[in-house]
Amino acid sequence: MIGRLNHVAIAVKDIEAASRLYRETLGADVSDPTDQPEHGVTVVFVNLPNTKIEFLQPLGENSPIAKFLEKNADGGIHHVCYEVDDIIAARDRLKAAGARVLGDGDPRIGAHGKPVLFLHPKDFNGTLVELEQA
């Protein structure tokens, strides 16, 4: 059901510093920051030959990333994102298997402009999983 790894998301307190570190120290191709107010984050993508790294910085006090950083002061891996061919079919299959879809269960548009869903970390070895329609 899952396809390729789309990205690994890392929560950061300072997206500019994280971008500079990857750009200057690792020589990475780093996008410009983009605010995603509907998700409460500012995002940057580090483009790699086989996938991406996504930096997430809180956008506002009610951001889920702000809450994550309260518990993980140095930041860290927030979630992994896998591509699926049909997000509705994937959601229905996962729910039938007992997996919990976060929110109301309906896909939302993610940072790449494609439908996404998040799966409860307690159902996936403590890892928050994002599914994105390919």
Q: What is the domain range of residue 129?
A: 5-133
Q: Which of 24, 38, 70, 130 is catalytic?
A: 130
36 vs 41: CA distance, rounded Å: 5
Q: Which residues contact 123 (CB under 8 A, 6 or more apart)?
A: 98, 99, 100
Please name the residue that has the structure tokens 């950083």.
Answer: 69
Split into its structural domains, the chain has a count of 1
CA distance 76 to 92: 30
* CATH code, domain carrying 12: 3.10.180.10
Q: What is the pTM of this model?
A: 0.93
Per-residue pLDDT of the chain (134 residues; tens, 9 = 90+): 999 999 999 999 999 999 999 999 999 999 999 999 989 999 999 999 999 999 999 998 889 999 999 999 999 999 999 999 999 999 999 999 999 999 999 999 999 999 999 999 999 999 999 999 99
130 is catalytic: yes
